[in-house]
Amino acid sequence: MTDGVPNHAGLRRKPRQTRSQERVDRILAVAEALFTTEGYAKTTTNAIAAQAQVPIGSFYQFFPDKAAILQAIALRYTGRLQQYLKTLLDTPDVAVLPLPEYVDRLVDATDHFFVENPGYHAVFMDAQGTIPELNEIESAADMALIADLKTALAQRNPGLSQEDLEVVGFVVIKVIGNLLWLSIDQDQTRRQRLVLETKKLALSYFQNYFPIESQHC
């Protein structure tokens, strides 16, 4: 992507005029609201266009098809998450934290993002599988997260091979994501417990690759 504004990704025509840009923004806002409340399948393109006060024809000037709106919204979310976690991982203070605290921070940050962005859950939950492009977006987003985590972990244990770093990053990102994702549907008590278990799980696994230095009997 040569363009810094992810809004334009997958657009049929890039809006040049102010009015057009406003229309695209309105469409995305309305679509996100409808997808979240009604679901992707039950939301019609005509309804989005009508509620955004945009003729259906103009709608299709910007978006090649219905799926493209969801892709645009999904891209916005994955971008936010990656930036959020990268900021954490790149903080010098965090990099030198003992492993348990490090895992705490990582899991808490991911959990926090999920809680603060309920649309993320709603959008990805909805049309997964139906839209192959969505899976690619999620996959690409995870790749980026894994890459960030890899550099952070390499710093922590320079002895690990690239293959090991890749696999450990993959497992940790996927597992944390999956468990916290599942915890969203649960009630408050169970959710907190699952966050705790996620930390326990990640820490136990990490210790296979980052042995505690101060281990003595």
- The contact set with DNA (CB under 7 A) reads 13, 16-17, 19-20, 23, 43-46, 54-58, 60-61, 64-67
**Is position 112 an interface residue for its own copies (rule: CB under 8 A)?**
no
Residues 6+ apart with CB under 8 A from 72: 6, 7, 9, 10, 11, 28, 63
Identity at 202, one-letter amino acid code: A
92 binds, among its own copies, DNA, none (CB under 5 to 8 A by kind): none
Per the CB < 8 A criterion, the answer to whether 23 and 61 are in contact is: no
CB of 106 to DNA, least distance (A): 38
175 binds, among DNA, its own copies, none (CB under 5 to 8 A by kind): its own copies
In the list 119, 167, 184, 191, the residue contacting its own copies (rule: CB under 8 A) is 167
Please name the residue that has the structure tokens 């939950």.
125
Query: Which DSSP string do the residues of 91-135 spell out, in sequence order?
Result: -HHHHTS-HHHHHHHHHHHHHHHHHH-HHHHHHHHHSTTT-HHHH
Size of the site for its own copies (CB under 8 A): 29
What are the residues binding its own copies (CB under 8 A)? 40-41, 125-130, 163, 167-168, 170-171, 174-175, 178-179, 182, 190, 193-194, 197, 200-201, 204-205, 207-208, 217
